[in-house]
Amino acid sequence: MRVLIATSDPRPAVARLHRARIELTVLITAITMLCLIVLGLVAAVIDARSRDNALDADLDQVLTGLGPRLYLDEDDAVDTTDLPGDELVGGEIAILVLTADATGGWTVHYGHLRSHMPAESGIAATADAATQAPGDTIYRDSIDSAGRRVRLAAATFGWEDSDREAVLITGADPDAWDRGRALLLRALTVGGTVMVAAAAVGGHLLSGRSMRQALALVEERERFLGDAAHELRTPLATHRLVTVPRARTPAESEQVLADARALGARMERVVAGLLARARLQSGAATLERVQLLLDQLTESVVEEFGADRLVLRAEPTVVVGDPGLLGLAIRNLVENALTHGAVNPRVPVEVFVGAGRVCVRDHGTGLAPQLSSNPFERGVSGGRGSGIGLALVAWIAEAHGGTATIEPVAGGGTIATLVLPPPRAAI
Q: Is residue 225 part of a domain?
A: no
Triad 75, 79, 82: Cα angle to 5°? 150
Q: Is residue 396 part of a domain?
A: yes
Strand partners for 407? 415
- The tens digit of pLDDT for each residue in 235-253 reads 777 777 667 777 778 877 7
- The tens digit of pLDDT for each residue in 121-150 reads 888 898 889 888 888 889 988 888 778 888
Residue from 309, 366, 370 nearest 334 by CA: 309
**H-helix or E-strand containing 165?**
strand 162-172
Residues 138 and 74 reside in one and the same domain:
yes
Residue 364: CATH number of its domain: 3.30.565.10
Domain count, the chain: 3
Average pLDDT over residues 2-6: 41
Residue from 367, 384, 377, 364 nearest 404 by CA: 377
9 pLDDT more than 70: no
Specify the pLDDT at position 257. 81
Q: Is residue 61 part of a domain?
A: no
Least confident among 90-99, 357-366, 385-394 = 385-394
- Contact criterion met (CB below 8 Å) for 108 and 117: no
Domain span at 151: 70-172
Q: Is residue 353 part of a domain?
A: yes
- What's phi and psi for 314, nearest 5 deg? -130, 140
Residues 49 and 183 reside in one and the same domain:
yes
- The tens digit of pLDDT for each residue in 269-307 reads 667 666 766 777 666 667 788 889 999 999 988 887 776
Specify the pLDDT at position 368. 59
Residues 210 and 295 reside in one and the same domain:
no
Residues 369 and 403 reside in one and the same domain:
yes
- Contact criterion met (CB below 8 Å) for 53 and 32: no
Residues 335 and 410 reside in one and the same domain:
yes
383 pLDDT more than 60: no
Confidence of residue 353 (pLDDT cuts 50, 70, 90): very high
Average pLDDT over residues 364-372: 60
Pick the most confident of 37-41, 172-176, 211-215, 282-286: 37-41
Q: Is residue 263 part of a domain?
A: no
Residues 88 and 162 reside in one and the same domain:
yes
Confidence of residue 385 (pLDDT cuts 50, 70, 90): very low
Specify the pLDDT at position 419. 93
Specify the pLDDT at position 4. 41
Residues 210 and 312 reside in one and the same domain:
no
Residues 332 and 418 reside in one and the same domain:
yes
Residues 49 and 182 reside in one and the same domain:
yes
Q: DSSP labels for 270-302?
A: HHHHHHHHHHHHHTSS----EEEEHHHHHHHHH
Residues 48 and 187 reside in one and the same domain:
yes
Residues 45 and 186 reside in one and the same domain:
yes
Q: CA–CA distance from 31 to each of 28, 61, 189, 422 (Å)?
A: 5, 44, 16, 58
* H helices present in 67-140, as ranges: 120-131
Please identify, among 172, 189, 212, the residue that sits at the C-terminal boundary of a domain. Answer: 172
Q: Please give the mean pLDDT across all residues of the chain.
A: 79
Amino acid in the structure at residue 192:
G
**CB under 8 Å to 374, separation ≥6 — which residues?**
380
Q: Is residue 1 part of a domain?
A: no
Specify the pLDDT at position 121. 86
Please identify, among 172, 188, 206, the residue that sits at the C-terminal boundary of a domain. Answer: 172
Specify the pLDDT at position 219. 72
Q: Is residue 249 part of a domain?
A: no
Residue 95: CATH number of its domain: 3.30.450
User: For the whole model, what pTM was predicted?
Assistant: 0.48
Residues 369 and 406 reside in one and the same domain:
yes
- Contact criterion met (CB below 8 Å) for 329 and 351: no
Q: Is residue 279 part of a domain?
A: no
